[in-house]
A and B are shown apart, each in its own frame.
Chain A
Amino acid sequence: MTESSKAILQLRGIRKRFGSALVLDGIDIDVHQGELITFMGPSGCGKTTLLRVIGGFASPDEGRVLLDGNDSTEKPPYERDTAMVFQSYALFPHLSVADNVGYGLRIRGLPKSEIRERVDRLLALVQLQGSGGKSISQLSGGQQQRVALARAFSLEPKVLLLDEPLSNLDANLRLSMREEIRRLQKRLGLTTVLVTHDQYEAMSVSDRIVVMNHGRVQQIGAPVTIYEDPVNEFVADFVGGVNFVPARVESIAPDGKASLVRCALGRLHLDCRGRTLRAGQEITLAIRPETIKLGSRPEVRNYVEGDIDLSMYVGARIEYVVRAGDLRLNVHVTNFGRLPIATGRVTLQIPEDMHVLEAGTLGRRDGAPTP
C-alpha cells in the first residue's frame, strides 16, 4: 500500500497570496486515516490559512485539496465532509446548547426524535449530559469548548479541523482539555488536523507534526523526530529551544563514527551518528539545554567551565544561563527533589551525541535574514 492510497486528505501544491504577501508557498501534505496531525508554527506562518483552505473558507490561488480522493478545492464548506472547531468556538448565542449541537442535523432535515437522540448521545460523549437546555452564556469556557466539539462531531465528518482549540482556556483547563481531545479523537478514530503555536500542545497530542514558517513546510514527522532530529535551525529552535554553537570539524576517527570539533567552548568530541562529516567542515552544534550536565569532573570528556549568570527555579527543573567563553548556554537541570541551586563557577559536560546542523544559517530562519 502506497503512502497516498491511505491518505484521506491530500494537499497538493497549495499557494495563496493576500495582496503582495505569499501566505502559503507550495504546501504538499498527506493526512492519513485516523491520525491527529498538527500544523505548528509562529503567528503568520500560514497554518490557520491552510486550515481554512481545507475547510473551504478560503480558496487557494494554486493547488488542489483532495478529500477521500475527490477534488474538493472549489467545494463550499457546506458541501464538504469537514467540520471545524473555531478558535472563538463560534457557538450561536441565540440558540440553546442542544440546538447548537443539533444545528447541522436540523439543516440535513433529520426527524426531530432522531436529532434529540443524537444530540443526547453527543452531549454524553463530551460529558455534558443534561446541559442541553442551557444557554451558551451559562457555560464555562471549557464547557463551551465541549459543545463546539460535540457540534463538530455531529455530522460525523471525515476530517475534524481544530483551530487553536485551547488558546482561550486557562492553563489547568488547557491540560485536561488537551487530554480529553486526544482521548475522544482516538476513541472515535477521527482524522484530525489541529493548528497551534504551542509546541507542548503539539508534542503531547500529535501523531505527526507539520512545522511551518513563512508559508512553507519546514519538517513533517512524529514529535520525537521533530525534537530529536530537527532538519534545520528554525525547527530546532522553535521546538523546545536549543543552544546553537558554531563549530569546525578538526579531525575524524578512522571508522568515521566520531570526530573532534573546535568551537567557542574549546575542543569537543562529537558522535557522528551516521552522518558523514569531513575535516575542515563548518557546522552548527544544536545542544538541548537538558542534555548538558552540571557539575562534572575534569577527567570526563567534553568538560567545560563556566559562570552562572542567571538561575530560574521553575519547580520541575532549574533553568540556568551559564556564561562559558563568550557564549551563553541554557542549561536545564531536572529537580529530583530539594536540589540546591548552583551559584558562581560551575563545570559542565557537553553530550557527545549532540545534534549537528549545516552551518551558515545561524541566526537566520528559513533563509530569511532576521535583524
Chain B
Amino acid sequence: MSTQLLLERRNPSSIANAIAGLVNPIRVVSVLALVLLLLFIAYPIGIVFSKGITSSDGTLTFQYIALFFSHEHYYRSIRNSLILGIVTTAILTVIGFMFAFAVTRGPQVLRTPLRIIALLPLIAPHYIFGVSLIILAGRQGMLTKGLHLEGWTIYGWDGVILSQVLSFLPIAFIMIENVLKSLDPHMEESARDQGAREICVLRTVTIPLCTPGILKAGLLVFSLSLADFANPALLGGKLAFLAPDAYGYITGEMNTHMGSVVSTVLVIPCIAIFLIHHYWLKGKSYTTVGGKPASSELRYMGAVSVLMVSSCVLVGLIIIANFAVTVFGAFTNLAGVDNTFTLRHMVHREGFAALLTSLKMSLIVGILGTIMGNVLAYALMRGRVPGQAILEFLALAGFALPGTVLGIGYLLAFNDRPIHLTNTFAILVLVTLFHCLAVPLELGYSKLHQISTEMEEASADLGARLGTTFRRVILPLMSSSFVGGFIYAFMYSMVSVSALILLVAPGKMLASVYIFQMADLGSLSTACAVTVYMMAVVLLSLGALRGFIALSARRFGFA
C-alpha cells in the first residue's frame, strides 16, 4: 500500500521503478546467500556425515560406527577430548574472570598493560604456545635442563592444557570483560553500602550477576578446546584427541569412513553447544546495555582483589615469556641448545612465499567476509526473507564447526565433479570465508540493533530508495562494524590452521600451516622465524588499517 503510493508519487513512466519493486534486492541477496551457504557449509558437512554411514559400494551401514565404539583404541579420544575441554574451560573461566576483573576494577596503572597482554595471543597462530612451550620445556627445553626436570615432560596433559589455556585466554577474557563492563557499577556499590565486604560483594552480587555471561564464555571455550587440532597435535604426546585423530585417519591412513565417524562424533557436541548458546542462553543476562558507566574505582583493594590482580600479572608474565622465547628462537641457532645469534632462519624462501599467499588469502577473505557478513546481517534484520531461520542457522553455525571437520568435508565434497576445487587457491578462500563468516555477521547484527529503523524511515520519507538509504545512511553508520568484521576475518585467515592444513597444495602453502608443519617436524627455529614475520605482518596490517581509518575519518567526517 505505502510502496504503491510512493511509486505513484514518483515518475509513473519509470519502468525501472516497477522492476525494483518486483526484484527486491533483499530477497535476491538472501536467496544467493542461502544457495552459497547450502553449498559451502551444509553440503560438505552432509558428505562427512554420510561417509560415516555408507560402505564403499554406497549402501547404508553402521559397521564403522559399531567398530568405532567397540575398540578403546578408537573411542578413548572422546574421553580425552572431553576431559581436556572440561579442565581447560574450568581454568579459563577463572583466569578469564580474573583478567576481566583486573582490567575493569583493578588499579588504573595495570588496566591497559593487562588488557594488551590478555589480547596478545590473537596476533599469532593460537598454537604459538605449542611451539614456545617445547622450546621452554620440551626434552631439550631451556627450563627442563635449567631446572633439571629430565623426568618430567611437557608432552601430555600438562602441555596441552597449558597451551590451550593460554591460546583461548583472549576469547574468554573478551567475553567476560564485556559482561563486567556492562554490569551497573551501582549494584556492587549498593552491596557495599549494605555492609558487604569485598569477598561478600563478589560472592553475592558480582559473580551471580555475571554467571550467564561466564557460562556463555565457558561454553565457547569448551567447544574451541574440543575442536582444537593444533595444540593437542603438537603437545599431546601419546594421548589421543578427536580432531588430531580425524586428521590422522584422513591423511595418514586414508580411512575416510573412520575419519568421518570421528568427525561426526566431534561435530555433534559443537553443534549442541552452538544451539544452547544461540537459542537457549540468548537474552539471558542481568547486564544492562547503555547503562550510565559510572566510574567503578575500587577505593579499597582487599586481599581477594590483590590475589586476583597478582595472579593476572603472573599469567601475563608467562605469556610474555612465551612470546619472548618465540622471538629468541627465531634469531638463534637452536634456542636452548645453541644460543648463538643468527639470521639464517629469518631468510627463508618457502616461509616468505607462504606468508605472501597467506596475506593474499587473508585480504580477500577479509574483504569478502566483511561485505557478505554485513549485507547478510542487513537482509536478515530488516527484511522478511524466505528460509530466514535456515539462513541464520547456517551462517552462524559455520563458526561452531570444528575446522578439521570442515576441512575434511571440503576435501571429500569438492574433490571431483560437479565442483572440483582440490589444489586450488579458491578452496582455501572459501573454507576460511565460510568458517569465519559468523563473526562479521554478528558484529553487523549488533551494530544494526543500535541503528534505529526510524533513521531509515526518515531517509525513505525524504525520498531515498532502499539502495540510496543503504549507501547514504546505513553504510556510514555501520563503518565500525565493517572495520571490526574485517579485522576479525583478516586475522582469523592469517592464523587459522585446522581446516587449511587438509587443503593446502604444493605451491599454495600458507604461513599458518607452514609454521605448524615445521613445529611438528621439530624445526622449531623455522617455526619461530615465520611466526615472528606473521606477527609483524598482522601488526603492520592493523596499523595500516588504523591509519586508513583515521585518514578517511578526517576526509569524510566519520569513523
Contacts and interface: CB of A to CB of B under 8 A. Distances in A.
Interface of A: 55-59, 76-78, 82-84, 86-88, 90-94, 103-104, 107-108, 151, 154-155
Contacts of A108: 195
B191 A103 contact: yes
Interface in B277-297: 286, 291-292, 297
Given A78-B196, A88-B292, A94 B209 contact: yes
Given A93-B286, A94-B209, A83 B299 contact: no
A86 B190 contact: yes
A78 B195 contact: yes
Given A56-B192, A88-B291, 20 more contacts: A57-B192, A58-B299, A76-B299, A77-B192, A77-B193, A78-B192, A78-B196, A83-B193, A86-B189, A88-B186, A90-B186, A90-B189, A92-B204, A92-B209, A93-B286, A94-B208, A103-B194, A104-B196, A107-B194, A107-B195
Contacts of B186: 86-88, 90
A88 B287 CA distance: 13
A218 to B, nearest CB: 25
Complex A-B, nearest 5 residue pairs according to Cβ-Cβ distance, in ascending order: A104-B194, A90-B186, A90-B190, A77-B192, A86-B186
B549 interface: no
A77 B200 CA distance: 13
Contacts of A107: 194-196, 200
Contacts of A57: 189, 192-193, 299
B197 interface: yes
A155 B190 contact: no
Contacts of A76: 192, 299-300
B184 interface: yes
24 contacts: A55-B189, A56-B193, A57-B193, A58-B297, A58-B299, A59-B299, A76-B192, A76-B299, A76-B300, A77-B193, A78-B194, A78-B196, A83-B193, A84-B190, A88-B292, A90-B187, A90-B190, A92-B191, A92-B204, A103-B191, A107-B194, A151-B194, A154-B194, A155-B195
Given A78-B197, A92-B205, A108-B195, A84 B189 contact: yes
B384 to A, nearest CB: 30
Contacts of B197: 78
Contacts of A77: 189, 192-193
Contacts of A82: 193
A56 B190 CA distance: 11
B150 to A, nearest CB: 51
Contacts of B192: 56-57, 76-78
Contacts of A87: 186, 292
Contacts of B205: 92
A285 to B, nearest CB: 40
Interface in B190-234: 190-197, 200, 204-205, 208-209
A329 B414 CA distance: 82
Nearest to B200: A107
Contacts of A93: 209, 286
A90 B190 CA distance: 6
Interface string B155-186: 00000000000000000000000000000101
Contact of B193 (A59, A78, A92, A94): A78
Nearest to A86: B186
A55 B205 CA distance: 19
A13 B64 CA distance: 82
A155 B192 CA distance: 13
B33 to A, nearest CB: 37
Contacts of A91: 190
A107 B190 CA distance: 13
A94 B299 CA distance: 25
B297 to A, nearest CB: 8
A94 B292 CA distance: 20
B210 to A, nearest CB: 10
Contacts of A103: 191, 194, 196, 204
Q: Which of B186, B194, B197 lies at the interface centre, i.e. has the most chain A CB atoms within 10 A of its CB?
A: B194
Contacts of B187: 90, 92
Contacts of A58: 297, 299
Given A84-B189, A86-B186, A94 B286 contact: yes
Contacts of B191: 92, 103
A90 B201 CA distance: 13
A103 B300 CA distance: 21
A171 B192 CA distance: 31
B195 A104 contact: yes
Nearest to B287: A93
A207 B490 CA distance: 63
Nearest to B205: A92
Contacts of A83: 193-194
B299 A90 contact: no
B199 to A, nearest CB: 11
Nearest to B286: A93
A55 B193 CA distance: 8
Contacts of A84: 189-190, 193
Interface string B138-163: 00000000000000000000000000
B403 to A, nearest CB: 37
A59 B299 CA distance: 8
A56 B197 CA distance: 13
Nearest to A84: B193
A262 to B, nearest CB: 50
Contacts of B209: 92-94
B421 to A, nearest CB: 51
A154 B209 CA distance: 23
Contacts of A88: 184, 186, 291-292
Contacts of A155: 194-195
A83 B200 CA distance: 18
A55 B195 CA distance: 12
Nearest to B188: A90
Contacts of B184: 88, 90
A123 to B, nearest CB: 16
B155 to A, nearest CB: 44
B295 to A, nearest CB: 8
Contacts of A104: 194-196
Nearest to B302: A76
B305 to A, nearest CB: 13
A146 to B, nearest CB: 15
Contacts of B194: 78, 83, 103-104, 107, 151, 154-155
B232 to A, nearest CB: 37
Contacts of B286: 93-94
Q: Which of B186, B187, B195 lies at the interface centre, i.e. has the most chain A CB atoms within 10 A of its CB?
A: B195
A189 to B, nearest CB: 21
A58 B185 CA distance: 13
A92 B190 CA distance: 9
A154 to B, nearest CB: 8
Nearest to B209: A94
A91 B191 CA distance: 9
A55 B194 CA distance: 11
Nearest to B186: A90
Nearest to B187: A90
A132 B104 CA distance: 33
B301 to A, nearest CB: 11
Contacts of B208: 92, 94
A155 to B, nearest CB: 7
A83 to B, nearest CB: 6
A306 B194 CA distance: 59
Contacts of B195: 78, 104, 107-108, 155
